[in-house]
Amino acid sequence: MVVEVSLGQRSYRVHIGSNLIASTGELCRDLLPKPGIRCAVVTDSNVEKLHSTPLLVSLTDAGFHPELIVVPAGEKSKSLDQSEKVCNRMISAGLDRSSFVVALGGGVIGDLAGFVAAIYYRGIPYFQIPTTIVAQVDSSVGGKTGVNSTGGKNLIGAFHQPRAVIADVDTLRTLPPREFNEGMAEAIKHAIIKDNILFETLQNLDRDDLAPFIARNVGIKAAVVSADEHETAGERALLNFGHTIGHGIENAAGYGRYLHGEAISLGIVAACALSISKAGFSKADFDRVLALLHQYELPTQLPSDISTESIMTALRTDKKFAGGSVRFVLSRGIGSAFVSKDVTLEEIKGAIEGLR
């Protein structure tokens, strides 16, 4: 399956299917008019053991000299410090402006490697090979790259579109249940903002045939990104449903306590609650969302040791606060979201309290 991300000269394809990693080298060679022979494969300490060997073989067979760069698994690797270490490894290995990067891993690796590709020699090509649900349905598509700072999540970054995304669904078989389930938060988000049929699919997901499910999510993300690449027209902001409060919780809890999708699950509950009072979202739909989150064992209640004020402090630095005003994504019903400037900080605070 192939989904096109239409961005003019920056357009690319998302390839979805089985046994795709083995053909990565050939695809890279075909898509780069004059590729250098050196490339960097950036991955983490977990994924390296599972999926790096066939990728390195494929790249070598295609005539490339891959440099494997392994970073510690986890959100803490999304940092300027780790970005510098990766860049220094690439310099030592002789990569230049004709080289390219392959990101092999989940959302952390995709964001980190994409950011490195965006800044190395002022920008070199990169390819995404997402290995988690979160990355395949969401973060690998759209060109947002970046790292975290002490002030907040993804505040340091760049738009840098990949040359291609290779979503090999076989990699999803190696995911522990917790990592599989957390990815469903992003898919549930897609359903709430754009696709009520996807919501029904999530209720009866065929785990033995995930490619159509991944493709449907990628199609939603691709359409939004194609309409608003740099989040200037408002359409792309819809993808932030559940993320304003979710990112605040992720930051306040300390990166690593919650997986990204778990924090977003809490943010989705809060956004749905606000949508009831501000947008006519029905109690019946709210209950359906809660039931689906529970189905995938995602959290819906906030522990008492994470204070509301610490979350509010974190979300005030969020990129979604434009000129001091809040751009909050609400939903009128499953499949119908919009961006509102009519949500106050006090209402957000109340929604956080409502998670307890």
Tell me the average pLDDT across 64-90: 97
Residue 56's Cβ-count burial label (10 Å; 0-12, 13-18, 19+) is buried
Q: Is 240 a catalytic residue?
A: yes
Q: Is 153 a catalytic residue?
A: no
> What are 90-138's pLDDT values in tens digits?
999 999 999 999 999 999 999 999 999 999 999 999 999 999 999 999 9
Q: Long-range contacts of range 175-179, CB-CB < 8 Å, 24 or more positions apart?
A: 175/132, 175/133, 177/297, 178/259, 178/297, 179/106, 179/132, 179/133, 179/259
**Of the listed 15, 51, 243, 327, which one is catalytic?**
243
Q: What are phi and psi of 329, to 5 degrees?
A: -90, 125
Q: Is 186 a catalytic residue?
A: yes
The rounded distance, in Å, linking the Cα atoms of 97 and 36 is 8
The dihedral formed by the CA atoms of 183, 184, 188 and 189, expressed in degrees to the nearest 10: -10
Taking the complete model, does pTM exceed 0.75, yes or no? yes
In CATH terms, the fold of domain 230-353 is: Dehydroquinate synthase-like, alpha domain (1.20.1090)
Q: Is 243 a catalytic residue?
A: yes
Residues facing residue 69 across a β-bridge: 42
Q: Are residues 159 and 230 in contact, defined by beta-carbon separation less than 8 angstroms? A: yes
Q: Which two tokens stand for residue 209?
A: 């045939």
Largest CA distance in the chain: 59
**Of the listed 163, 194, 216, 236, which one is catalytic?**
236
Q: Is 144 a catalytic residue?
A: yes
Task: Quote the pLDDT of residue 232.
Answer: 77
**Of the listed 240, 250, 251, 262, which one is catalytic?**
240
What's the mean per-residue pLDDT of the chain? 95
Who contacts 66 (Cβ-Cβ below 8 Å, separation ≥6)?
Answer: 38, 39, 40, 41, 55, 56, 59, 60, 102
> What are 15-64's pLDDT values in tens digits?
999 999 999 999 999 999 887 899 999 999 999 999 999 999 999 999 99
In CATH terms, the fold of domain 2-174 is: Rossmann fold (3.40.50)
Residue extents of the structural domains in the chain: 2-174, 230-353
**Of the listed 182, 231, 250, 262, which one is catalytic?**
231
**Of the listed 186, 229, 250, 262, which one is catalytic?**
186
The dihedral formed by the CA atoms of 213, 216, 221 and 227, expressed in degrees to the nearest 10: 180
**Of the listed 15, 89, 190, 247, which one is catalytic?**
247
Q: Is 260 a catalytic residue?
A: yes
